[in-house]
Amino acid sequence: MAVLEEHCARQADSIAWADVQLDQLNELMYANMKLEQQLEDAHHEKKQLSMAAVYIEQRNKAKRASSFMISGLPPDNAKGDNEIVVELCRSEFSIDMDITSTKRVGKTRDLKPQLLMVNLKTEAEAQNIIRSARQLRKSHDSYVKANVYINANLTPAEAKASYELRQRRRQAARHQIDLDSTDRIQQSVIGPHQQQPQPQQQNDIDTGSEFSNDRE
């Protein structure tokens, strides 16, 4: 009888221990399910943020495309920036445009005026101004000719890439100028009428040999 009671007591302890293990396993499974749900929610939120970032970037890119930047153009206390830009583009490019807004950005450095960002209604208007910007270097206004520049409204990364591309083009142009200069010096040393010595022909007969010095 005592043996049976001891056996039943051991069985009860085993069942109690199994119940504890089962409770712990249930808690672990619940915690795992909760963690999976949190990870899924985080992934969904990240996806939503990425889509929002793409949308914002596309919207900002479209907005930049319909704008341009002017450097070196000082403010006028008697006129607003809108009027200054309209007069500049009208006098230099003979172009009228619809300005939606202007804004001074950046800091004044070395007494140079702040950059002026100009927003237009359409991308086509902005691109027309940007394409015409080179005409400023031929301006009859000495200040405009020397100081005022118009460029596309680029992000810092785009501006850096554009600057590096211009640097490579300048280096290639300088290299070509050096080559042309070297060729001119060599031509001046050799002389335009100096001819290479002709090989002496034997008996004035063209043998047609493949080893002939004549070249077409």
List, for residues 147-176, the tens digit of each pLDDT value: 999 999 988 787 788 778 878 888 888 888
Tokens of 179: 């080559």
- 64-153: CATH topology is Alpha-Beta Plaits (3.30.70)
Which pLDDT value is given to residue 204? 45
Reported residue count of the chain is 216
Flag whether pLDDT at 180 surpasses 50: yes
Which pLDDT value is given to residue 28? 86
Tokens of 37: 């749900």
Q: Where are the domains of the chain?
A: 64-153, 154-190
pLDDT, average across residues 28-41? 85
pLDDT, greater one: 214 or 172: 172
Q: Given the structure tokens 């591309």, which residue do they identify?
A: 165
User: Strand, helix or coil at 118?
Assistant: strand
* Residue 162 CB partners (closer than 8 Å, separation 6+): 152, 154
pLDDT, average across residues 92-116? 91
Which residues make beta-bridge pairs with 71?
Answer: 149
Weakest-pLDDT range from 78-87, 132-141, 154-163: 154-163
pLDDT, average across residues 38-46? 82
Tokens of 138: 């031929």
**Angle at CA 157, nearest 5°, toward 125 and 167?**
85
Which pLDDT value is given to residue 176? 84
Which pLDDT value is given to residue 211? 38
Which pLDDT value is given to residue 73? 95
List, for residues 98-108, the tens digit of each pLDDT value: 999 999 998 87
User: Strand, helix or coil at 70?
Assistant: strand
pLDDT, average across residues 198-210? 46
Rounded to 5 degrees, φ, ψ at 57 are -65, -40
